[in-house]
Amino acid sequence: MALTAALEAAVSGLQSSQQGLNLASNNITNVNTTGYTRQVFSQQSMSVQGVGMGVTVLPPGRVVDQNLMASIRQENSTLNTLQTTSDYYTNTQNLFGAPGSQTSISASITALSQNLESLALNPNTPTSQSNAVQSATQMTQQLNSMSAQIQNLRLQSDQALSSSVSQANGLLAQVAALNNKIVQADNTGQNSSTLEDSRDQALQQLSGMMDIQTFTRSDGAVTIYTNSGLALVDNTAVTLTHPAVSAVNPQQTLAGGGFSGIYIGSTDISNQFQQGKIAALVTQRDNTLPNLQSQLDQLTTAMAAQVNAVHNQGTSYPALTSSMTGTTTFMPLPTALAPTAQTITLGSGDVAINIFDKNGTQVASTTLNGIMMSDMSNVGGQAATPSLPGPPSPLVNDDKAQASNGPWTLDQITRHLQGWLHSSATDNPPGPGLTAATVSLNDNNGNFTGNLAIDLNSPSYGLAFQDQAFSTPGSAPQPATIQFNADGHAQPDPLTGKPYYTQTVQGFSNFFGLNNLLNTSATNARTTWDSTIIPNGATMHNLGVGATANLTFSDATNGINIGNYGIQVLPSDTLSTIASRINGDATLGKIFQASVVPNGGGSQLRIQDLTGANMMVSQNNGTGIQNALQMAPTTAGASASVAVRPDIIGNPQLISRGMVQYSNDTKTYSLSAGDNTIANALAKTFTNTTAFASAGGIGNTNLTFTDYASTIISQNATAASTVQQNVQYQTGLTTALSQKSSSENGVNLDQELANIMMYQQSYAAAAKVITTSTAMMDTLESLFR
């Protein structure tokens, strides 16, 4: 019996050594397999009634440090966040060109500045005019291109988000499926190590997508939660959805419904993730890239405002301006509100209106206040000319003498200006007698456009507006203050006691945008209004609002002051509550969409007209809310739309260089070809500092245009560099953790080779036992022969 037992024990030893060799072989074979966890051979002695009966092999074990794995997954999430961010920064860095090539936006602005300096030196040389216009065009095209690329990156990030969400769904489903198989294998005593390896790999990949927490249940299944505790895989996997958009524009935001969230069913979980590729993509799409866009928009808006304010004061003689079309779009005015709404008051100064001939000699001259105070009802053919049909609704007495310095409605201004242009030299005030001239807010077909259009219909004459300190001819040139009451609310500001105006603009031509150099969407269309950037969560009270007041809303389709009193704003309101109140209003909610949009470290209240109509936000009583919110037509996308005025691109001679000059000898105004007053002033706007409002993380600052552009580049470069350094650090950290894990979990060839030798020895010994037992059995057998 004992000999048989020894034989059986030896056989079990042979089998055990074979299995050990098999395991070692498997470990060695998988030495380079990613995610393979070393399997550990273990065996147990068998005995029956205290007598050894050989050895039995236990199922192979996995050497896994779960805590270490959790750390690796956490760091992997961070690494993926940084890597994705770094990739996008690398792309945005490409927008600025190579440092040595001088192709950055900063260099383009400098080039424009240089060409304006040249223009100031040679104002009437076609080359310098064309160079200035060309460099301005090049700069605007670069801004357009940068903006387009930023929006393209946002589109890419949204599409990458969609693909990452699909990938995450695949991994979640994979983990759920593996969970089932592992539980089944464990229950049937099968080896589940490979399945667990696969699951660990899926979790590792998932951690790159999002920051997750995992828990292993007693049956071997793993549950996955977001860091905030939302279950992603429990018994089954959830399905995340994120339909990508097909195009992105600068005004498109998640808050405004421009992007889809990441949904489980109908729950948006976009803000559940702080780490991982998905979180990084959301941040790029909704924060980092919009911030860069906002900085470019701020640069564009400030530049356009400064340059246009100067350019509007200028003239392009010897090229005469016989027609002008304003860029500022006004809303139609219901008769009921005339003449209180959409009126203009001269806050200071007056505007000399001059007609010149081809020699630059004055043909006729008057002032805005002068013509407004004159009766134009029977002068110079005005009566014979069709009046201005359609909105803004004319009043019967619009062409009669009006009050000094206003307020005047737009209709009154167009009628008086046209009346004066028609007046002859013998009328009072004497006019140029241009009886074919038209001044209107309508197009040629009589349809309301909302833009002031002046056409002398006589190319031999040119029109020039000259803002000056007083009405007397030759008074010092200085921008007239135009106060615009858009909504008809004329109550005084409770703080200053002065009348409150919706908008105060320096310069008559500048107010109407009659002679802009740079046009942007913000100067043309006003379909979206933004507040200034406000700290997140700040209440109106925090912003200095002491009393409840009403914000009123108007648009071109629904008229001025829709619903009369708009919505109430309380001192305790935040931007979110104001937005909710607008969206929840039975009337306004159908016309406008309000959202709170992140910008830099704060947020803006954005109100969009859902029909795309020209709109306006104003305050019904007092000025507190408007002072706090500073609602104004949005500047978002200004850099995408900025362009040099098309007719100036076509004819660079139309760029303003000189201004109207007054001769004390002749007591007349004149234009001259060599005048470089405005060219000098234009050049100066590029060397003087300008006040930039806070945008995209750059605070309120006073810089030159080039320095602001350099700041944008430098800030982006610093952020990119920081992220790159973090990537390097995080890569090292993750690699070290992986190395530690691998050295514990991975296959060590030396160890396996030693094991093989051990298995070989034990196999040989067991075989010897069998040989010996066989010999002994033979001996025993011979005894019976």
Per CB under 8 A, residues contacting another protein are: 31-33, 89-90, 93-94, 96, 98-100, 102, 104, 106-107, 110-111, 113-114, 117-118, 121-122, 124-125, 318, 360-361, 658, 661, 663, 665-668, 670, 672-675, 687, 706-707, 709-711, 713-714, 716-718, 720-722, 724, 735, 738-739, 741-743, 746-751
Cβ distance 292 to 696 under 8 Å? yes
Is 188 or 426 the residue whose CB approaches another protein more closely? 426
For the record, the structure tokens of 584 come out as: 């929840």
Is 397 or 687 the residue whose CB approaches another protein more closely? 687
Residue type present at position 642 = V
* Cα distance between residue 392 and residue 329, in whole Å: 12
For the record, the structure tokens of 285 come out as: 């799409």
In the DSSP assignment, the letter for residue 339 is: T
Helices 289-311 and 66-94: crossing angle, nearest 10°?
20
Distance of CA 716 to the CA centre of its chain: 14
Among residues 672, 688, 684, the alpha carbon closest in space to that of 120 is found at 684
**Which residues pair with residue 704 across a beta bridge?**
none
* Cα distance between residue 583 and residue 521, in whole Å: 25
Is 583 or 748 the residue whose CB approaches another protein more closely? 748
Least distance to another protein, CB of residue 663, Å: 6
Is 271 or 721 the residue whose CB approaches another protein more closely? 721
Report the SS3 class of residue 286: helix
Is 44 or 714 the residue whose CB approaches another protein more closely? 714
Distance of CA 633 to the CA centre of its chain: 16
* Cα distance between residue 407 and residue 333, in whole Å: 15
For the record, the structure tokens of 706 come out as: 């080039």
Is 398 or 427 the residue whose CB approaches another protein more closely? 427
Is 147 or 716 the residue whose CB approaches another protein more closely? 716
Residues 6+ apart with CB under 8 A from 324: 452, 453, 454, 455, 463, 509, 514, 515
Is 174 or 291 the residue whose CB approaches another protein more closely? 291
Least distance to another protein, CB of residue 386, Å: 33
Least distance to another protein, CB of residue 724, Å: 6
The number of C-alpha atoms within 13 Å of 765 and in the hemisphere containing its C-beta is 11
Least distance to another protein, CB of residue 369, Å: 23
Least distance to another protein, CB of residue 624, Å: 39
Position of tokens 């990441």? 262
Is 274 or 731 the residue whose CB approaches another protein more closely? 731
Least distance to another protein, CB of residue 362, Å: 10
Least distance to another protein, CB of residue 754, Å: 11
* Cα distance between residue 279 and residue 77, in whole Å: 10
Q: How far is the CA of 186 from the CAs of 44, 192, 193, 444, in angstroms?
A: 19, 7, 10, 85
Least distance to another protein, CB of residue 76, Å: 15
Q: How far is the CA of 553 from the CAs of 528, 568, 606, in angstroms?
A: 12, 12, 13
Least distance to another protein, CB of residue 348, Å: 27
Is 223 or 704 the residue whose CB approaches another protein more closely? 704
Least distance to another protein, CB of residue 202, Å: 20
Q: Determine which helix (DSSP H) or strand (DSSP E) holds 732, and give its type and residue range.
A: helix 705-745
